[in-house]
Amino acid sequence: MTGAAWLGIAFVVAGLAVTGWLVAEAAGARSRSVGAIQERLAIYTLVPSAPAATEPARAHRAEGRRGLLGALLAVTGRLIRGTAMEAELASRLDQAAVPLQPPAWVLAHIAVASTAAVLLAMIGRANLAAGVLGLCVGTVAPLWVLRVRAEHRKAAFEAQLADSLQLLAGSLRAGYSVPQAIDAIVREGQEPVSTEFGRALVDARLGVPLEDALESVALRMGSLDFTWVVMALRIQHDVGGNLAEIMSNVAATLRERERLRRQVRVLSAEGRLSAWILGLLPLVFAGYLLLVRPTYLEPLWTTTLGWLMLVSAAVLFAVGIAWLRAVVRVKF
C-alpha cells in the first residue's frame, strides 16, 4: 500500500474514533445528569433525589472529559455560540430527542462527512469526484437522519395523543386536578408522550403557567393537533365548562384524524415508494459509476456540453422531486 493509502486509512479510523467517542459521550450524558437534575428538582417534582456522586467519581469523570477531544468540543462551542446555527441545531436535537449538545453534533457531523469523503475517495482509487460524492453524502446523511428521527417522534406523539387525552378525561372525572391528571399520563404513558408531558409538568411546578408549558410542547413537537388541545384548555380556563367532557370530545376528534391519517398513508404508500425509487435511482447509479468506472462520467464535467447536461439534469431532477412530493403528500 502506498503512503497516501495508509494516510487515508488513518484518517478514516480517526474519524470513526471521534464519532464513536461523541456517541458514547452522548449516551452517558443523560445518565450522568440524572442525579444532579433530580437532586435540584426533587422539591418541585416530588421525585426522590439520586445519591450524590463521590469525589473520586467526579474527579474521574472530569479527567475523562479532558484531552484533545474535550479541547475540540470547547473550540467548536466557542465558534457557534450565540449564532443562529446553534439555536437551530439545539431546536432540532431537542425535537429528535438526541442527547447531544450543538458543539458535539457539529464535531460529529464534520467527522462523519470527512470520513465518508476519504473512504469513498479510497474506494474510487483516489478519484476526486468520488471524494466529493462522499463529502456530500456525509454532509446530508446526518441531517436526514435527524429529520427522520424527529418526524417519527412527532408521528408517535400524535398517534398516542388521543389515548392520552382519554386518560386525562378519565382522571378528571375521577376527581383529579389537571396537574394530577397530567402526572397520571406521565406515569402511565409511553415515550414520547410521557417525556413531553413530564417536561411540561416540571415547568408548571417551577412556576410556568400550565397552558404555556403545554404550548411549548406543541411548538417543540410541531404538532397542530396538540396546539388545538392547548387552545381548548385556554378557552376552558377563560370561560369555564366541563373539562373532562371537552377532553373526551377532543380525543374522539383526534382519534378520527389519526384513523384518516393512517388510511391516507396506506392509500399513498405505492406513490411514496415510487417517489423514493425514482428519486434515488439516478443518484445511486451515478455514485456506483463514479466508484467502479469513472471514465464513463468524465465527459460530464470535462466538456461544455457535459456541464449543460448536468445543469439541465439537476433542474429537471429538482422539479420532478417537487412534483412527486406534491402528488403523494396529503395535508389535512
The answer to whether the CB of 236 falls within 8 A of the CB of 169 is no
Task: Indicate the burial class of 328 (C-beta count within 10 angstroms; 0-12, 13-18, 19 or more).
Answer: middle
Q: Give percent of the chain above pLDDT 90.
A: 2
Task: For residue range 180-206, list pLDDT tens digits in order.
Answer: 888 888 888 888 888 889 888 888 888
The answer to whether the CB of 142 falls within 8 A of the CB of 163 is no
Task: For residue range 280-296, list pLDDT tens digits in order.
Answer: 888 888 888 877 887 88
Q: From CA 179, how far away is CA 122, in angstroms rounded?
A: 58
Domains of the chain: 3-126 (no CATH), 154-267 (1.20.81), 269-328 (no CATH)
Distance of CA 18 to the CA centre of its chain: 20
* pLDDT value at residue 64: 47
Stated pTM of the model = 0.70
Handedness of CA 197, 203, 206, 210 (dihedral sign): negative
Confidence of residue 48 (pLDDT cuts 50, 70, 90): very low
Q: From CA 255, how far away is CA 130, in angstroms rounded?
A: 49
Confidence of residue 68 (pLDDT cuts 50, 70, 90): low
Task: For residue range 151-176, list pLDDT tens digits in order.
Answer: 899 888 988 888 888 888 898 888 88
